Structure 1
Amino acid sequence: MSIYLSNYWTLYKEFVETFSHLKFREIPIVLLTNFYQQIDSELKMKMEEENFHLNINAAQLDQEKIQPYFEKWLEKIRESWMVKPKEGKVLINADYTRIPEQTYMNKFDPGQTLILSRSKGSHIYGIPCENMGKYVEVNHEESDKLVKEATNLFESFTTHLAFGNEFFQQTFIKRIPQIVNTLGMVFNLFEKQEISSIVVGTTEDMQSRALSIVGSSKGIRSVCLQHGILMGEEAFMPVFTNIVGVYGDYEKNWYAKRGLSKERVAELGHPKFDEIFMDTATEKVDLIKKYGLDPNKQTLLVITGPQLDVLRFEALMDGILNESNFQIIIKPHPWEMGKKKYGMYLELEEKYDSLQVYTARDNHLYELLSHSDGVVSSLSTVALESILFNKPVFIFNFLKSNRHYDYFDILGEYIQEDPTKLTEVIKNYYHASEHRAIYHSIRNRFIADSYIDGHSGQKLADLINKKG
């Protein structure tokens, strides 16, 4: 573990132990807050210092003890789902699951499935839909009591580097009413609906976490799909569901190193990837016409991400486009689009005739991937999707980060921190068949450890329908 992560988990442990007596309906509310979101940049910098742990009043939480530690708290809540599975419907939380329409329509029985959504419609893809607002319970009295207790407790930690941090305090305190209302909503839902299983797309969000935790108290088994490649450890640990679905062996080993037992890992892939294995409806000639591309040039799709080193990214674009054989489409990350942080890319579009920025809100990612000649990507799930499309993938690791991400390390020279070296790798691939042969050998080794095969929707349905 990096110094930051070691301090993060130990501080998280101290936070749980200090605030665990604050409960709503016997659920410790500290389990509902997304802890890493309480840490501002100032505190994060301090946590990257080697001696920060001397300020934490808890024993160090080693990597292999992460899940076992949180299990101790969850076991106090959980009713065993393995002894006698409950009867009822499968509840799918629409937020973040990203299950495609075809999977809903072909793999889930409308009579045995319920979608929890923000939609006001009665059905989604022919499956009955419940609006989450219908079950909301506002409990001002309980919220106010917990806010007061938390505020008083924080006042006794004025010199604590984390608990005395105003952002840390206010983020948690402001969340308490939302935590209480969300837990109340979930309890109401389970009291009015007979549910046997829950499917969520992540437990980063409060609603999915509440569904998993409260569901476990009622013996309802839960499955969390993997919402992206394992980058930020804090977004995937601890595990609050009974089962996590994973993409491949990398993830299976990753969870094992953090103390999750192997029987709680399901080899699913993800239903959203099933579409990659279906025939695309468009032809490359249509893409060329749609985007005004030159059919005689190699089209590279560039996938960006937040917190990139601007100078290295610009150097990479300059290096590629110094050769007239290439043209580029830049697709900014959704976060960059939402925050309007893509001005740098528009400046490059002004500079180069062979570069354009895709800023449309409609989602045509798979169309772009299927017809590009190669993908130049940040460390992202799109890089994985590109590999599944059997496209040459060149990864730039230009992140400013407090840790090393090793997910794509197997790709060898096809992942680089130096823009000049990556430019050379890209040009070698298109100029020499021996370089293409090397890449495809590496790509095949990478895919061999994956469970993504176009049948993830069926695997998920089989897992849910499994008795016991």
Structure 2
Amino acid sequence: MKLIAYGEQLAYYGAILKRFFTLFRPVTYQNVPISKHLYYQCLGFINHRWGLAWSKKKVFLEKMHELDAGQLFSYFDEPYVCKSNPEGIFLMRSGFGDIASLFLPPERYYLLSPFQAEVDVIKRNRPDLSVHNIENFLRPNPGAVRDLEKKITGLLEEEKQDPIFGSPHFLQWVLGRLPDLVTRFDAVQRIIEKLNVGAVLTISSIHWFGSALNLIARANQIPSLTVQHGIIADSQLFCHLPVLATKKAVWGKGTKEWYLKFGTPETRVAVTGSPRFDMIFNREWSGQESLKKRLRIDPAYKIAVYATQPLGGARIREVVATTLNGLNRIEDLFVLIMLHPYERKELYQQLAAANERCRVFSFGEVSLYDALNAADLFVTSFSTAALEAMMFNVPVVTVEPFPLNFSYGKSGAVFAARTAEELAFLARRVLSEEEFRQEVLEKARPFLKKHCVTDGFSSRRLVREMENLSRCGGVY
């Protein structure tokens, strides 16, 4: 199947990436093609600066129709050689500290964070863990930046006829990314040279931190594993491909099938489940009575948990207004608004000010799992927390007033509301009709089974996968 069957936007992105990777193949730093680190930012810049309509007409129309969806992996990724180092330590994103401490002695892992705030949170929650901030390893390297600037300027000088890659705007954009790229690559290289690293564990290939770790590990022939972060959908294809790591650890067989349909070798994908979901099954969480007492909620009220998700300003207002207007129509319902880690309270407090039966919580202020264990209803647009609600056997309804990056409603997992009226109707039925509540729960189960392993042993599988990678030296 041609990639354009998934939509012109994805075919456009695919054509951009193929051209970008091919053109910049000779430009490397620390033995890493810099295009592999900049590709996601490149898509955003070109799309914002030139857009699909103009670019399709002037540059990419023919190329957009040539790309085969089943060969995307071979276009953008490749196998690479790794060394076996079964005694090496695991260099891990700091959030994996809970997992590491369960299965490994402290000398076997090194926890690294992209910024101090994350270090502070982990130290507060787990003072027994030693966490390091990569910012302490960042050093300017103007000489290396100048060398790259010279090479890239010369390369793009030969592309003057290309209205995008030969434009001064694109050159300025690339050159502006180089100081950060150089300092980040140097920092990871410095850490790897300091440690005897057997494998690397990350949560993203598009965020600069995970990307730098995966790519510098690759250049040093060290295997790496990236864990799925969030629900995966076709519309976000290039958030998840190329893989960049030696292997991708996914939550369920449905996601593995998704990677395979775009040409990813089966050896590059492992179904481990999500380590964070293990806590649902391995800990005791607050019941409804104790949560109401702690939060001073009237015992007579039922509880709805509303998990937010970052969106553009106008869209946030539309989704929040629809959700709160719908839930506010149910008189005996108290709403807990649980914010995404990247969001702040102010906007939501402003939008919820008219509703006395509503409270806004920053990420971590109240445990999401305590809230879910006490909830009678869960509402979101497309947050991954919907999966967690399903694991707690809480009925899920989504609010989808416009097309979203991922639609639980279209997937068949939930009933979706487009308006406040529809949400109020569905919520009332969930809360008052036991037969309908059971129907909602049954609707979610096949989706959950396909997309998530829910046996409580994901952390163990993840560590075992890391041990296998370090022992075997990768998958090829």
The root-mean-square deviation of aligned C-alpha atoms, in Å, is 3.1
- Pick aligned residue for 2:96 from 66, 84, 99: 99
Distance 1:9 1:302 in 2: 35
What letter matches 1:427 in structure 2? R
What letter matches 1:434 in structure 2? E
**For residue 33 of structure 2, what is the aligned residue in structure 1?**
28
Q: Does 1:88 align with 2:87?
A: yes
**For residue 63 of structure 1, what is the aligned residue in structure 2?**
69
Distance 1:127 1:368 in 2: 27
Q: Secondary structure at the match of 1:351?
A: coil
**For residue 147 of structure 1, what is the aligned residue in structure 2?**
149
Q: Secondary structure at the match of 1:356?
A: strand
Q: Is the 8 A contact 1:313 1:398 kept in 2?
A: no
1:190-227 deviations in whole A, cap 9, x for unaligned? 33322111111112223322322232233321111112
Distance 1:9 1:318 in 2: 40
Distance 2:343 2:212 in 1: 29
* Alpha-carbon distance, 1:161 to partner: 5.6
**For residue 336 of structure 1, what is the aligned residue in structure 2?**
343
Percent sequence identity over matched residues? 21
* Alpha-carbon distance, 1:241 to partner: 0.8
- Pick aligned residue for 1:262 from 263, 266, 270: 266
Distance 1:168 1:415 in 2: 41
Moved more, 366-375 or 112-121: 112-121
Moved more, 140-149 or 162-171: 162-171
Structure 2 matches for 1:334-413, cutoff 5 A? Answer: 334-337=341-344, 342-343=346-347, 345-359=348-362, 362=365, 364-398=367-401, 405-406=406-407, 409-412=410-413
Q: Secondary structure at the match of 1:91?
A: strand
Distance 1:399 1:169 in 2: 36
Distance 1:324 1:128 in 2: 48
Distance 2:295 2:14 in 1: 47
1:369-413 deviations in whole A, cap 9, x for unaligned? 221211101201111111112211111124565xx6355634455
Distance 1:233 1:54 in 2: 24
1:122-157 deviations in whole A, cap 9, x for unaligned? x97656655535654543212112123334555666
Structure 2 matches for 1:190-201, cutoff 5 A? Answer: 190-201=192-203
Distance 1:414 1:41 in 2: 37
* Alpha-carbon distance, 1:169 to partner: 4.5
**For residue 16 of structure 1, what is the aligned residue in structure 2?**
21
Q: Does 1:433 align with 2:443?
A: no
Identify unmatched segments of 5+ residues in structure 1: none
Q: Does 1:112 align with 2:119?
A: no
Q: Secondary structure at the match of 2:259?
A: helix
**For residue 7 of structure 1, what is the aligned residue in structure 2?**
12
What letter matches 1:219 in structure 2? Q
* Alpha-carbon distance, 1:9 to partner: 1.4
127 and 360 in structure 1: CA distance in 2 versus 1, 3 angstrom threshold: closer
Distance 1:298 1:354 in 2: 10
* Alpha-carbon distance, 1:309 to partner: 5.6
* Alpha-carbon distance, 1:171 to partner: 4.0
Q: Secondary structure at the match of 2:426?
A: helix
TM-score by length of 2: 0.84
421 and 454 in structure 1: CA distance in 2 versus 1, 3 angstrom threshold: same
Q: Is the 8 A contact 1:104 1:125 kept in 2?
A: no
Distance 1:290 1:167 in 2: 55
Distance 1:380 1:142 in 2: 41
247 and 413 in structure 1: CA distance in 2 versus 1, 3 angstrom threshold: closer
Q: Secondary structure at the match of 1:334?
A: coil
Structure 2 matches for 1:297-308, cutoff 5 A? Answer: 297-305=301-309, 306-307=311-312, 308=315
Moved more, 49-58 or 325-334: 49-58
327 and 220 in structure 1: CA distance in 2 versus 1, 3 angstrom threshold: same
456 and 157 in structure 1: CA distance in 2 versus 1, 3 angstrom threshold: same
428 and 221 in structure 1: CA distance in 2 versus 1, 3 angstrom threshold: same
1:322-355 deviations in whole A, cap 9, x for unaligned? 2313221222333331xx6x52x32443222222
189 and 92 in structure 1: CA distance in 2 versus 1, 3 angstrom threshold: closer
**For residue 293 of structure 1, what is the aligned residue in structure 2?**
297
207 and 413 in structure 1: CA distance in 2 versus 1, 3 angstrom threshold: closer
What letter matches 1:91 in structure 2? F
Structure 2 matches for 1:69-218, cutoff 5 A? Answer: 69-71=75-77, 74-75=78-79, 78-81=80-83, 85-94=84-93, 98-99=95-96, 101=98, 103-117=99-113, 126=128, 131-132=133-134, 135-136=137-138, 138-151=140-153, 153-154=155-156, 162-163=164-165, 169-218=171-220
What letter matches 1:90 in structure 2? I
Q: Is the 8 A contact 2:400 2:417 kept in 1?
A: yes
Q: Secondary structure at the match of 2:38?
A: coil
Q: Is the 8 A contact 1:14 1:57 kept in 2?
A: no
Distance 2:49 2:81 in 1: 36
199 and 42 in structure 1: CA distance in 2 versus 1, 3 angstrom threshold: closer
Distance 1:332 1:20 in 2: 41
Distance 1:410 1:354 in 2: 31
Aligned positions, number? 450
Distance 2:49 2:71 in 1: 22
Q: Is the 8 A contact 1:330 1:356 kept in 2?
A: yes
Distance 2:275 2:184 in 1: 27
* Alpha-carbon distance, 1:234 to partner: 2.5
Moved more, 317-326 or 37-46: 37-46
- Pick aligned residue for 1:319 from 320, 326, 329: 326
110 and 336 in structure 1: CA distance in 2 versus 1, 3 angstrom threshold: closer
What letter matches 1:230 in structure 2? I
Distance 1:156 1:400 in 2: 41
312 and 229 in structure 1: CA distance in 2 versus 1, 3 angstrom threshold: closer
356 and 192 in structure 1: CA distance in 2 versus 1, 3 angstrom threshold: closer
276 and 408 in structure 1: CA distance in 2 versus 1, 3 angstrom threshold: farther
What letter matches 1:93 in structure 2? M
Distance 1:399 1:446 in 2: 22
Q: Is the 8 A contact 1:93 1:208 kept in 2?
A: no
Distance 1:162 1:405 in 2: 30
Distance 1:58 1:147 in 2: 31
Distance 2:435 2:9 in 1: 42
Q: Is the 8 A contact 1:40 1:167 kept in 2?
A: no
